């Protein structure tokens, strides 16, 4: 399906939803809302059209480094697959190279690829870890996600500021206590924003 047809279909469905909610879709504030919603949803789900393996492979470099590489506090926004409401959080990603490293900007891009899909946090965490494991083939990978779920805050139990933490550990991060402890210490250490 071409982009224009897809956007029109989403906009038409949005207009119907507005009517079913009891809104007048012809009032001034809602005149362009269906197409704005369509464009927003297209962006928020753009990860379906990106291949994480391609992103990582385009910036893979040989290295002699065998110490932990950590990119922490990667902010992300996603949408829960159960209610299509926002998930807002931060991701910490570490790996221990085994002959290869990836360009640092590719780690946040991988987070975005998976975040820009309808998701559950647990799956997002696993997908990031698996993509890095499969392409970089490091000695270990660790991913921790801290997130707030609007499906818990805006509806349902309405527990504002509750945080969900999920992790995925591979290789040395799972088998070696010292490596795992070093990772958790690093992600939990406060670093001034202007370091």
Positions marked catalytic: 80-83, 121, 149, 151
CA distance 117 to 97: 28
């Amino acid at each position: 399906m071409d982009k224009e047809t897809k956007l029109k279909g989403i906009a038409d469905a949005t207009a119907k939803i507005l009517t079913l909610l009891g809104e007048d879709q012809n009032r001034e504030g809602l005149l362009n809302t269906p197409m704005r919603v369509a464009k927003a949803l297209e962006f928020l789900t753009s990860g379906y059209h990106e291949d994480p393996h391609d992103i990582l492979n385009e910036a893979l470099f040989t290295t002699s480094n065998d110490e932990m590489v950590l990119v922490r506090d990667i902010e992300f926004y996603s949408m829960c697959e159960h209610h299509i409401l926002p998930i807002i959080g931060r991701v910490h990603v570490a790996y221990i190279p085994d002959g290869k490293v990836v360009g640092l900007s590719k780690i946040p891009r991988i987070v975005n690829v998976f975040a820009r899909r309808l998701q559950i946090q647990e799956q997002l965490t696993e997908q990031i870890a698996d993509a890095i494991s499969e392409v970089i083939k490091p000695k270990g990978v660790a991913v921790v996600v801290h997130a707030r779920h609007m499906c818990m805050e805006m509806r349902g139990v309405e527990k504002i500021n509750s945080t969900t933490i999920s992790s995925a550990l591979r290789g040395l991060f799972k088998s070696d206590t010292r490596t795992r402890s070093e990772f958790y210490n690093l992600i939990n250490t406060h670093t001034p924003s202007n370091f």
